[in-house]
Amino acid sequence: MGSGFLNRDSIRFYYIGFMNRLLSYWVIILLTSLYGCTSKTVDKDAQARNDSIQKYLDLAGNDNMSYGKRKGYNNKAYSMINMNMNDTVSISSLYKTTMNFHRFNQLKELKFNSALMLKKALLLKDDYWISLSYKVLGLYYMNNSENEKALYYFFKAKKHLFQLSEHKEIMSLLFNISLTQYYAGDLLGSNKTAFEVLKIQKKYRSNIPYGVILNQIGNNLGGLKQDNKAIEYYLKINRKRCNLKMKNIIANNISTSYIEIGEYKKAYNELDSIIKNKDFKEINPSNYATAVSLLGYSKLKMNNLKELPKVFFIADNIYKNSKTINGSNYNQMYLSMYYEKINDTANAIRAAKKALFLSKSYNNPSDILVTLEQLIKVDKKNASTNAQEYIRVNNSLQISERNFRDKFARIAYETEEITQEKDKAVNQKWIVATIATVIVLFVLLILIITRQQSKQKELQLLQEQQKANEEIYDLMLNQKRKEEEARQSEKKRIAIELHDGVMNRLASTRLNLNMLSYQKDKETINKCLIHVQEIYKIEQEIRNIAHNLNLDVFKESNSFVVILNEFIITQNTTTSSQYILEISKNIDWNHISSGIKMNLYRIIQEASHNINKYARASNVIISLALNKNNICLCITDNGKGFDTNVNFAGIGLNNINHRVKSLKGEVFIESNTISTSINITIPFTI
């Protein structure tokens, strides 16, 4: 806004307009008084109706009354308006009730009556009511997240109000423009407009409280991640002079900033004082629900899970009863964070999806991004798809914000230009033709520049789309590569499982059954029957591998030690070697992953198979010990050794080495003619 509308000639121009309006009002009053001579009863009825309407409007505007009662009184006032009349009294009542529809978030009623009000104002040809009709239309589109349309109608209203010198209404419009910029994500622009309102307020008494403007500036700073600065502006507000609704709003906003900077206790104290006052719940339930939700979130941040998630459910019920969507999405997101904290993944995903759905329902890209970010955290399975959606929405938001700022600048410029043009037309009529020519040329130049900029933006957008497509293609290729690596890794794992487990046991069984080729006495046959049962166990193991269940046996706390003992008993029964198992008592197997335990078992199997097949050892010692955060496995036998440089390439030793390396461990093998020792160290984390 420029300063031209404050000069003397402008005041004179507005004064002439005011006198014309005043004259027309006197004519209406005169005609009404003449008509009243013949219809006094009708006038009394109309006056009584108007008095009743005003009474209900006063009750609807009482901030200390419950939300539901205020809505009811406003609906009562609206039902008493005589819609067949088209005068300033009826349109004034219509405007007041329509503004209440805006305050109570009744969007359908707001849209219908703003259009009806404009129709009546145009029939009256009254610039004042026409401008206010444009204002309420702008409020509808602002509440409906159609920010560009809102801006269009606000600036149309602004042009009329400048002509009428309605400074209070101009400040109200500027504040609504600041809100629209805030909702559109243009936080710097919103702050600039808010400070402009603050500056004008010093010259003219406004119907917008000083605290409301400071609160909006704080909101903008919070959105810009300058929460410490935002808190400074919130604390400047004299909350003792605020009504209950405004106190609730300020407490919610300052608590949000405290949470952002990690001052959770301060946030909790702010909200706790609000929630204890039960009047807030009746006066403005949606803001009260937000306070409850933020209280739960601050408790979650302080790791105080008492009364959670009950607090979030209470807030959700209040949102539902008041039919409020804005805020309920964040409540669902906080609920998802709670479930994430207690490792309830299914409910965490469900709450995050609901938060995203609510954000999409009123088309707020910033809220969509925040809720998408939470969904990516908890839904690991669909993280890639959600990340691509996040990128798309973020790019769309940036383009939308840039376009909004451009349109705002253009509309503001054109509005200011029109205002200045009218001032010049009143004061400098002799240069009207010259100014008009310059303006036309300038507008043409602006159109040409705008067209060129538009083409450049289209080209830039196409390039960004091409780049995005290439990135998506690369992501697809990487995903295919990872899938192929996973398949190859699984093949290798199954091959190792078959070799280390099934083949070793089959070979051992075959060697023991081979005794029937040399001895067929009853004692030998009875010993061999044990190995027939072993074949059944091998069959079971093959079935387990086929169903990918081989890891489950290691999940129970004592199963690993039991399995190892069973293995030692089997070796001592079926082989000529004497096996001894030594396990350190200070190992807590509950803290060792099933993957490590499974690989240790397979390594012991493989090493035992090699000892039985090649070493001809009489004694074998298998020991497991703990060294800090390392599991140490040592397998020692007194059989004939081997040359580690020559025989280390065997598939059995290679499998052992592969398993140890996959666990980021180390293996050392020492062998001579009378003994062999395999020493393995595997790190683990609790």
pLDDT digits (tens, 9 = 90+) for 406-459: 666 666 666 655 555 555 665 666 677 788 888 988 888 888 888 888 888 888
DSSP conformation class of 682: E
The average pLDDT across 31-60 equals 62
Distance of alpha carbon 516 from alpha carbon 529, whole angstroms: 11
Distance of alpha carbon 293 from alpha carbon 296, whole angstroms: 5
Q: Considering only 306-315, 516-525, 570-579, which range has the smallest mean pLDDT? A: 516-525
Q: Are strands 619-627 and 578-583 parallel, antiparallel or unpaired?
A: parallel
Higher pLDDT, 396 or 223: 223
Higher pLDDT, 86 or 33: 86
Residue 161: partners with Cβ closer than 8 Å, 6 or more residues away: 131, 169, 170, 173
CA distances from 322 to 72, 248, 281 (A): 14, 16, 11
Give the number of other Cβ atoms within 10 Å of residue 402's Cβ. Answer: 13
pLDDT at 313: 92
Whether 550 shows a pLDDT value over 60: the answer reads: no
654: phi then psi, degrees, rounded to nearest 5: -65, -40
The average pLDDT across 314-340 equals 87
**Cα(first)–Cα(last) distance of the chain, in Å?**
64
Higher pLDDT, 162 or 621: 621
Residue 632: partners with Cβ closer than 8 Å, 6 or more residues away: 624, 625, 626, 679, 680, 681
Please state, for a pLDDT cut of 70, what percent of the chain lies above it: 79
pLDDT at 48: 67
Whether 310 shows a pLDDT value over 60: the answer reads: yes
Residue 110: partners with Cβ closer than 8 Å, 6 or more residues away: 98, 101, 102, 136, 139, 140, 143
Distance of alpha carbon 61 from alpha carbon 628, whole angstroms: 71
Instruction: Give me the chain's average pLDDT, please.
Output: 79
Of 257, 302, 294, residue with least CA distance to 274: 294
Distance of alpha carbon 660 from alpha carbon 654, whole angstroms: 10
Distance of alpha carbon 611 from alpha carbon 277, whole angstroms: 79
Distance of alpha carbon 557 from alpha carbon 227, whole angstroms: 49
Higher pLDDT, 426 or 310: 310
DSSP letter string, 565-634: HHHHHHHHHHSSSEEEEEE-TT--GGGS-HHHHHHHHHHHHHHHHHIIIII--SEEEEEEEEETTEEEEE
Whether 168 shows a pLDDT value over 90: the answer reads: no
pLDDT digits (tens, 9 = 90+) for 261-277: 888 888 888 888 778 87
DSSP letter string, 516-567: GGT--SHHHHHHHHHHHHHHHHHHHHHHHHHTT-TTGGGSSTTHHHHHHHHH
Tokens at 190, concatenated: 């919103």
Whether 342 shows a pLDDT value over 60: the answer reads: yes
Higher pLDDT, 205 or 607: 607
Residue 227 near residue 260, CB atoms below 8 Å? yes
DSSP letter string, 27-69: HHHHHHHHHHTT-HHHHHHHHHHHHHHHHHHHHHT-TTS-HHH
Residue 321 near residue 351, CB atoms below 8 Å? no
Q: Considering only 173-182, 419-428, 514-523, which range has the smallest mean pLDDT? A: 419-428
The average pLDDT across 136-164 equals 83
pLDDT at 13: 34
The average pLDDT across 126-134 equals 88
Higher pLDDT, 548 or 329: 329
pLDDT at 647: 58
Whether 649 shows a pLDDT value over 70: the answer reads: no
Tokens at 605, concatenated: 């199997």
pLDDT at 338: 92
Distance of alpha carbon 633 from alpha carbon 576, whole angstroms: 23
Whether 521 shows a pLDDT value over 60: the answer reads: yes
Edge-to-edge strand ranges of the sheet holding 676-683: 578-583, 619-627, 630-637, 676-683, 666-671
Distance of alpha carbon 307 from alpha carbon 314, whole angstroms: 11
Residue 18 pLDDT class (50, 70, 90 cuts): very low
Of 163, 119, 164, 162, residue with least CA distance to 137: 119
636: phi then psi, degrees, rounded to nearest 5: -125, 135
Report the b/e string of 109-125 with b at 16+ CB within 10 A: bbbebbeebbebbeebe
Please state, for a pLDDT cut of 90, what percent of the chain lies above it: 12
Residue 506 near residue 538, CB atoms below 8 Å? yes
580: phi then psi, degrees, rounded to nearest 5: -125, 130
Residue 637 near residue 671, CB atoms below 8 Å? no
**Where on the phi/psi map is residue 421: left (φ > 0), alpha (ψ -120 to 50), or beta?**
alpha
Residue 626 near residue 586, CB atoms below 8 Å? yes
Residue 178 near residue 152, CB atoms below 8 Å? no
Q: Considering only 14-18, 258-262, 422-426, 502-506, which range has the smallest mean pLDDT? A: 14-18
Residue 114 near residue 140, CB atoms below 8 Å? yes
CA 425: distance to chain centroid? 52
The residue behind tokens 């301060």 is: 266
List the domain boundaries for the chain. 428-550, 553-686
CATH no. for 553-686:
3.30.565.10
DSSP letter string, 243-264: -HHHHHHHHHHHHHHHHHTT-H
3-state class (DSSP) for residue 280? helix
Residue 26 pLDDT class (50, 70, 90 cuts): very low
Distance of alpha carbon 372 from alpha carbon 376, whole angstroms: 6
The average pLDDT across 3-12 equals 34
Q: Considering only 206-215, 234-243, 244-253, which range has the smallest mean pLDDT? A: 206-215
pLDDT digits (tens, 9 = 90+) for 359-400: 888 767 778 888 888 889 888 888 888 888 888 877 776 666
pLDDT at 27: 40
Of 101, 104, 140, residue with least CA distance to 287: 104
Whole-prediction pTM: 0.48
Of 240, 311, 245, residue with least CA distance to 280: 245
Distance of alpha carbon 448 from alpha carbon 454, whole angstroms: 10
